[in-house]
Amino acid sequence: MALDEALFHVTREHALPVIRYYTWDAPALSFGYSELFPSEETADAVRRYTGGGRVEHGNDLTFLLTLPADSSVARVNASERYRWIHEALKAALGQVDVRLFLEGNSGATSPGPCFQTPVPADLMSLQTGKKIGGGAQRRSRGSVIHQGSIRLSHDLRTKHEVWTDFFEKELSKRVESFPEVRRQKVIDEAERLAVTRYRCADWNHRR
């Protein structure tokens, strides 16, 4: 979570879009910026920088996507941007025979468990009808941070390049490695945020 926010700072300051993927080595839970700490939670829990409900991590691939304020997609409304990201994910996962559709329900959303409460444009399995992918966003000074979670088989999580290369090409005409000259500064900022924010009771338990 700290590294995601540190990378978002790079996007805001330098107009550099970033995408990052990561998996989990133990069960954990993240919850939205405006939510209360889940009182019943026993796994490690952390407050996200973005909104949304509770996301149970462990068997998912989590990803960060940041969009600079001067990009056209950062300026559209949140629902349109959310659909754009998930259409690209749907097409990419279709390349590895994961058949999906986008949720069309326009009813009220819930702050409960994310994967039990689909919202419009969430990723749904054609095979089971269950939600397998969702995300949360936040805008700051015009730039946008999107944190997404997709429940996939072990191989598609740990060898994600077989489909994420296609995903990235759907999002952008050009994809490059993160600049080496910025790496250490981002890591240092993430370590600072981890100590002062994401590992702190004041951040995770605040009301």
Model confidence pTM above 0.75: yes
The residue segments making up the domain with residue 32 are 2-204
The contacts of residue 189 (CB under 8 Å, 6+ apart) are: 6, 9
Distances (CA, A) of 136 to 17, 111, 179, 183: 17, 12, 26, 25
Q: Would you say residue 81 has pLDDT above 60?
A: yes
Could you tell me the pLDDT band of residue 101, with boundaries at 50, 70 and 90?
very high
CA-CA-CA-CA torsion for 128, 130, 132, 135, nearest 10 degrees?
160
Q: Which percentage of the chain shows pLDDT scores above 70?
A: 94
Query: What's the CATH code of the domain at 106?
Result: 3.30.930.10
Phi-psi region of 97 (alpha: psi -120 to 50; beta: other; left: phi over 0): left
Give the pLDDT of residue 198.
Answer: 96
Rounded-to-integer distance, Cα 48 and Cα 4, Å: 9
Q: Is the pLDDT of residue 102 over 80?
A: yes
Among 41, 35, 43, smallest CA distance to 136 is for 35
CB of 44 closer than 8 Å to CB of 136: no
What is the count of structural domains for the chain? 1
Count CB neighbours of 72 within 10 A: 7
What tokens appear for 67 in the block? 């969009």
Q: Residue 105 — pLDDT band, cuts 50, 70, 90?
A: confident
Alpha carbon of residue 59 to chain centroid: 14
Averaged pLDDT, 55-60 = 94
